[in-house]
Structure 1
Amino acid sequence: MPASYSSADDVLHVLASLRQHERDGKRSPHKPLLVLLALSRLAETGSSRIPWALAKTRLADLIADFGPPSRTGRAQSAAYPFTRLRSDGVWTLDTDVPMDRVTPLHGGVTGQLESSLERALKDQPDLISTVARSLVDAHFPSTVAPDVLLAVGMDPEAVEAEAALDPAPAPERRRSSTWPAAVLEAWDRQCAFCGFDGQAGGVPVGVEAAHIRWFKLDGPDTLDNGLALCSLHHKLFDRGMLGLDDDMGVVVSQRFSARTPFGRFVYDLHGRRLKPRPGTPEPAAEHVRWHQEQVFHGSPLVST
């Protein structure tokens, strides 16, 4: 890594390298979430400084909402990136503390982006949005990325508009241009969960092709890794509030809640088995298992 980050290319390169911490399909967005929180603080206050007292709540919330399911305690989950990000050369602490240790952090430790990195971002304010968009695009599907930006305190529309002025490099792996249409046709152009099949002039509206294993984490553009889902259920599926069991039945997380009759319709999906069109392959067990382990949050509702 360079000793200092003086150009936009330097900044984008070093923060893109955070992706190397995703190994063997294991999601690990903890460091990107901390960087996004620091970017939001920098844009709002002019400083990326984050006291541990803030990180152990805000960062822990972000990891719980947007990270993979974990049994690790909330404070410990936040301590991992708060201390380990130093090894990437983009983060500093005002006190030298051991990696992963929560106890010494309670003494009032504060972290912030490395000084030359922060200076480069302050000198080029639009670069904050470019980096933020690059990070969410690298680690989250398009259904979830706006939610992440909102959660860290950034306006998704503003980030998109400002980042468009200074676009990040195009990803090396490109999506199949024919896969979305093929998935919709395979599922009769209706939501595999609820059956919604709205159209306008013969074109599906609000029905989307969804990856089971995220494309960003090596999910293939194959029919056995795709579902046609309405926009609502696509987002809930990617947020881990909906999932699939080993028998291809829909499961609803106990973390999902709704009060109105319309919201409570989601509960009715629990236990509903997928019925693909004859000839359409069922989701591959390996992709379903990935979603169960890496995306679905909480425990399934108790069947009655």
Structure 2
Amino acid sequence: MPCDSPSVPRLSDEDELSTATGARDVLAVFSSLRQHQQNGQRSPHKPLLALLALGRLAANGRSDVPWSVAEVELADLIAEFGPASRTGRAQSAAYPFTRLRADGIWTLDRDVVMDNVSPLRAGVTGRFEQALEARLRSEPALIETVARVLVDSHFPSTVAGDVLSAVGFDPEAAAVGEHPGASRSRRRSSAWRTAVLEAWDRQCAFCGFDGQAGGMTIGLDAAHVRWFALDGPDELNNGLALCTLHHKLFDRGVLGLDDDAAVVVSQRFSARTATGRAVYELHGLRLRPRPGTPLPAAPHMVWHREQVFQGAPLAS
């Protein structure tokens, strides 16, 4: 369950908002939602609700999200892009729908008890605070900027575009670093990617793909096991060289690693063609790095298994 923090900045009325210094303040309000990630536990529920409302604001000029919509669409987003949940779909959606009020950016049109699904079904609607919505509506480009900041703060680049597309934004929108006022608290190591690719002999740790063009590696990424956006370190024991396909499947929770550093394939994945079904053949494949290259550290593999991998592994 997402937890709440009393230290989140609040935008309470038109007068307060009018004294803000612009986009930087709006970005700071949404960026503060990162505080709800604790001890490496993924908690993207509130950001996903904010993204759903931003998408509706961009499309319709209003951020209104009726519970009847949230119970389906927000629940779908959480199931697809959040960690595995032990609660029902409606309950997972009710957590952010009621608790985002504590962050000072969300309001409901009637008072309801935190986390309680039943009263929400009486026709409750949520929306951004009036002053915040007015600020966003007055500068439409800022809506997309905020959406991009949110996904880049909570998801790796391989997943961010999928999330943006799911809530109605262009997945090719500019990256955070290109937005005035946007910033990161951490910077990626410029040397980490090269070190990881070299450590894995410039080939995919899962399938062995080693394509080059003009002597340059192509179609191969340095992948974080524990996501950089969630405090994953730029260290060799948190990196794998993966082809772009398997990097995508790894970050979407279709592929994972067991305690013995063997690849596992989720039962959620299905394919009909021989090319697609080749993913099944990865199941049970042990990683074999070159001598001197460390396997991913056990805590990072456990984090990925608990926070990213979805469903149950294929039967051996």
The AA in structure 2 aligned to 1:93 is L
**Residues 1:243 and 1:134: Cα distance change in structure 2 (over 3 Å):** same
Pick closer, same or farther for the CA change 1:194–1:83 going to 2, 3 Å.
same
What's the counterpart of residue 302 of structure 1?
A: 315
How many angstroms apart in 1 are the aligned matches of 2:269 and 2:116?
32
2:120 equivalent to 1:111: no
Q: Does 1:265 align with 2:278?
A: yes
Give the structure 2 partner of residue 69 of structure 1: 84
| Partner Cα separation in structure 2 for residue 24 and residue 264 of structure 1 | 36
User: What residue in structure 2 maps to residue 214 of structure 1?
Assistant: 227
Tell me the C-alpha RMSD between the 2 structures: 1.3
Partner residue of 1:57?
A: 72
Does 2:245 correspond to 1:236?
no
- In structure 1, what is the equivalent of residue 166 of structure 2? 151
Gaps of 5+ in 1: none
**Equivalences for 1:239-258 in 2 at 5 Å?**
239-258=252-271
User: Are 2:294 and 1:281 equivalent residues in the alignment?
Assistant: yes
Equivalent residue runs for 1:168-187 within 5 Å: 168-187=181-200
Given the alignment of the two structures, is residue 121 of structure 1 paired with residue 136 of structure 2, yes or no? yes
Taking structure 1 as reference, are residues 54 and 175 closer, same or farther at Cα in structure 2, changes over 3 Å only? same
CA-to-aligned-CA distance 1:62-91 (integer Å, 9 cap, x gap): 000101111211000000000000010100
In structure 1, what is the Cα distance between the partners aligned to 2:46 and 2:223?
26
- Residues 34-73 of structure 1 show CA distances to partners (whole Å, capped at 9, x for unaligned) of 0000000001011000110000010000000101111211
Q: Secondary structure at the match of 1:47?
A: coil
- Provide closer, same or farther for how the CA distance between residues 275 and 164 of structure 1 changes in structure 2, counting only shifts above 3 A: closer
TM-score by length of 2: 0.93
SS of equivalent residue, structure 1 residue 156: coil
**One-letter identity of the residue aligned with 2:12:** A
8 Å contact from structure 1 (residues 69, 298) kept in 2: yes
Once residues 227 and 252 of structure 1 are traced to their aligned partners in structure 2, the CA distance between those partners, rounded to angstroms, is 17
2:242 alignment partner, SS class: strand
**How far does residue 166 in structure 1 lie from its aligned partner after superposition?**
4.1
Moved more, 9-18 or 175-184: 9-18
* Identity rate, percent: 69
Are residues 1:86 and 2:101 paired? yes
What is the aligned partner in structure 1 of residue 153 from structure 2? 138
The letter for the 2-side match of 1:207 is L
2:282 and 2:305 map into 1 onto residues whose CA distance is 17
Q: Is the 8 A contact 2:177 2:183 kept in 1?
A: no
| Equivalence for 2:61 | 46
The runs of 5 or more residues in structure 2 that have no matched partner are 1-9
Secondary structure of the 1:297 match is coil
Q: Which amino acid aligns with 2:45?
A: H
- Kindly state the Cα deviation for residue 184 of structure 1 after the two structures are TM-superposed: 0.3
Counterpart of 1:14 (choices 26, 29, 41) is 29
State the partner residue of 2:51.
36
Asked if the contact 1:129–1:160 (Cα under 8 Å) also holds between the matched residues in 2, the reply is no
Residues 248-267 of structure 1 show CA distances to partners (whole Å, capped at 9, x for unaligned) of 10000001111111111111
Aligned-partner SS, 1:277: coil
Cα displacement string for residues 234-289 of structure 1 (whole angstroms, at most 9, x for unaligned residues): 01000100000001100000011111111111111000110000110111001000
Write the distance in 2 (CA, Å) between the matches of 1:145 and 1:155.
11
Contact 1:91–1:113 at 8 Å: present in 2 too? yes
* Residue of structure 2 in register with 1:189 after alignment: 202
Is the CA contact 1:8–1:120 (under 8 Å) kept in the aligned structure 2? Answer: no
Which residue identity lines up with residue 257 of structure 2 in the other structure?
L
In structure 2, how many angstroms separate the alpha carbons of the residues matched to 1:300 and 1:164? Answer: 37
- Return the alpha-carbon distance in structure 2 between the equivalents of residues 2 and 154 of structure 1: 25
TM-score (norm 1): 0.96
